[in-house]
Every structure is written in structure tokens, then in C-alpha cells.
Amino acid sequence: MDISLQDVEYRYQVKTPFERLAIRNVSIDIPTGTFMALIGHTGSGKSTVLQHLNALLKPTEGKVVIGDRVITSEKKQKNLKEVRQKVGIVFQFPEHQLFEETVEKDICFGPMNFGVSEEEAKKRALAAIKQVGLSEEILGKSPFDLSGGQMRRVAIAGVLAMEPDVIVLDEPTAGLDPRGRKEIMDMFYSLHQTRGLSTVLVTHSMEDASRYADQIVIMHHGEVYEKGTPKEIFSSPEGLLKLGLDVPEVVRFQQKIERSFNTRFSRTCLTMEELTEEIALLVKRGAVK
């Protein structure tokens, strides 16, 4: 399902003394099957954009097209349940949203809330728990008896059980150690590929943005500052550094090597494998001994 934000502006608390402009002139296209990373500082507008992706917020100007639905400020929207079923959001610390007696009931809650029968919801719960790498035995347990990592996977399974076409990830690895972050992101990337999901990742991690995304959008002061492929975005890291944003560690290492040997690689390296290949070419040319 395609999503398109077209010249979107959003203001909080309109026509009050506390009115605040959050985003303006935001145009972003998310074609079906895209893995997009949305990056920027806290307060740059990322979370506001995120909430427009399934009509949690309606634009004060412009329009948002979600599949065949057009969301504007003028048009009164009815039956947004279908939109919110098709665009699932995994918020930061999703485990904080668990509340049912058992894991199975927690996962079934979302689908049943959207009109799915209990029998079908249980089938989805079983499939979803396996997709997030947990055994079916866990379905009968209380979510509050699980480890933190297991609780997060259960919360993610609850979103997957709604069978969305688009999944939006709001800092999904917050609070996890490096191993846990990689496991969760690898899981999402596998789901993205096997289920053909459109995926939007809101993150501060440049490593995750470069490793998993095929498109990156940089937000700055409520506007789209730049957008492009990871290669395009990170080939000129100076612009990101001026914004106070980081660049992937591999890119920083490449810059150091290029400065040290007064040379330029043939490409921007985003993985250690690519960097190793470029170093091998330097050695072959005799630039490094």
C-alpha cells in the first residue's frame, strides 16, 4: 500500500495561545515495499510525521494519501479503523502497552478489536509469535513473567497479528544492548522481505538507517532537509555533521583512511565488507603498505 504526504503542515493546539508549528511543507512518498528510515534530532518533526502515516493526526494543511484514502483537514474522516489496521505502529517501549492476563490474549486483542473472530485471532497469534522468534508455549504465560526482550517481541507480535501492509517502527531498539538491537532489526528486515511489508523506521541510529533502509529522509526544524538512498545521503557526511547528526562508523573510518593516505575511494562504503574491498584495492595499487 502506497503512502504519500503532500505539502503537509501540522500545528498543535490551533487557535490557542499555545499554538505551535510542528512540521511544514513535508512531501514524502512511500511506495509499496519500501524500507524508509526517518532520521533527525529530537524535535525535528519525526514523531509528528509518524502519526500522520495512519491518521492518528490529520494535517492542518496539505493532504496524506494512504492507499485509496485521502486525509485532509477539510474532509471529515469516517471509519479510520481500516487505515489503522493496515498501518501498524510499533511505538518506543511497546512492552509498556501489554495488559492482558496471557500472551495469547494480548496478541489477540488488536485483531479482535478490528472485527476478527476469536478463532482467527488465535491462529494469527500463533503465527505471529513464531514470526518474532518465540515458541508457542509462551502463549499461555503472563506477559509480565517474561524477560524484557520477550515482552518486546510479544508486543511486536500483537502488531503483526493485525496483518498490516505497512509497519512503522518508532525507535524499536530503544533501551536494548547491541546484540538485542541487531536481533530485533534483523527480525524486522526479515519480515519486511518475506511479507513484502512497507517499513518506516524512525531512528537515531545511522548504522541501522544505512544497513536496512533503501531510502532515507532527514528531518530538520519541522521540514524535510534531504532525502535519498543511503549511498546518496552518506556520500556527503559534512552536511549531516553540520546538523549535529552522526554518520555510520564505517563512513567515519573511511574518511580517516582517505585523509591519512590522501586518496579517495571509488564509492561510499556502508558495510565493513565494502570497506575491506576498497582497502584491498588500495593495497593492490601500492597506496598502502
Instruction: Break the chain into its structural domains and give their ranges.
Output: 3-247
Q: 254: which 3 cell numbers?
A: 573511511
Pairwise CA distance, residues 193 & 146, whole Å? 28
What is the pTM for the complete model shown? 0.90
pLDDT mean over 229-245: 89
Residue 274 pLDDT = 92
Residue 289 pLDDT = 53
Residue 277 pLDDT = 92
Query: Average pLDDT over the chain, rounded to whole?
Result: 92
| pLDDT tens, residue by residue, 243-252 | 889 899 999 9
pLDDT mean over 160-185: 91
Pairwise CA distance, residues 85 & 139, whole Å? 22
Residue 208 pLDDT = 93
Pairwise CA distance, residues 45 & 26, whole Å? 10
- Residue 216: is its pLDDT beyond 90? yes
- Residue 129: is its pLDDT beyond 60? yes
Categorize the per-residue pLDDT at 175 as very low, low, confident or very high, splitting at 50, 70 and 90: confident
| pLDDT tens, residue by residue, 265-289 | 888 999 989 999 988 888 887 765 5
Domain boundaries 3-247, corresponding CATH code? 3.40.50.300
| pLDDT tens, residue by residue, 202-213 | 998 899 999 999
Categorize the per-residue pLDDT at 108 as very low, low, confident or very high, splitting at 50, 70 and 90: very high
Pairwise CA distance, residues 172 & 175, whole Å? 9
- Residue 79: is its pLDDT beyond 90? no
pLDDT mean over 188-198: 92
Output the CA–CA distances (angstroms, integers) from residue 84 to 12, 80, 166, 187, in the order listed: 21, 6, 10, 22
Strands (E), the chain: 3-12, 20-30, 35-39, 61-66, 69-71, 87-90, 166-170, 198-202, 215-220, 223-228
Closest CA to 22 of 62, 54, 59, 66: 59
Portion of the chain with pLDDT greater than 90, in percent: 72
